[in-house]
Amino acid sequence: MAGIRHLIIFFLLFDLSIGMNIRDQSSQLSERIDCFPESELIFSNYSKDKCLERNCLFDDWVPSDTIQCYLRPNYGYILRENPQQTENGIRLRLQRNQAVGSMFPAPIENIVLDVQHYTNDILR
């Protein structure tokens, strides 16, 4: 009897984990950033290999209305130090996340981003 109880608990936990994975995957699908936005153009030469050459992820098993070639979740830049207050905004010093390969042949490694606040309707 204890063996059956353990088997039932196993199947309940297994079913629960599958449901959680499907829910996680569906939320991830909506958060993808297209790595090959020109894929629908006639001369784009879009393929799985071209996607992977850009150091992007490719998903063979997605619905037709979902991004198939997409950036890794940790692609981009990391804040190097605390934001600095400027006369009319803030300055951010960013460094490219080198843990992820770039989709560009000569990526910009360090960026200084100045955000200037002029009015409630204007940021520059």
- The pair phi, psi for residue 35, each rounded to 5°, is -95, -10
Domain of residue 51: give its range: 33-73
Domain match, 119 and 83 both = yes
Q: What is the pTM of this model?
A: 0.64
Domain match, 6 and 37 both = no
Domain match, 119 and 88 both = yes
Domain match, 17 and 44 both = no
CB burial of 41-66 (b: ≥16 within 10 Å; e: otherwise) equals eeeeeeeeebbeebebbbbeeeeeee
Per-residue pLDDT reduced to its tens digit, 3-49: 444 344 444 344 433 333 433 444 488 899 999 999 889 889 999 99
**How many residues are listed for the chain in this entry?**
124
Burial of 68 (0-12, 13-18, 19+ CB in 10 A): buried
Domain match, 64 and 85 both = no
Domain match, 56 and 87 both = no
Per-residue pLDDT reduced to its tens digit, 55-85: 999 999 988 889 999 999 999 999 999 999 9
C-alpha span between 2 and 101 (Å, rounded): 51
Domain match, 27 and 2 both = yes
Domain match, 43 and 62 both = yes
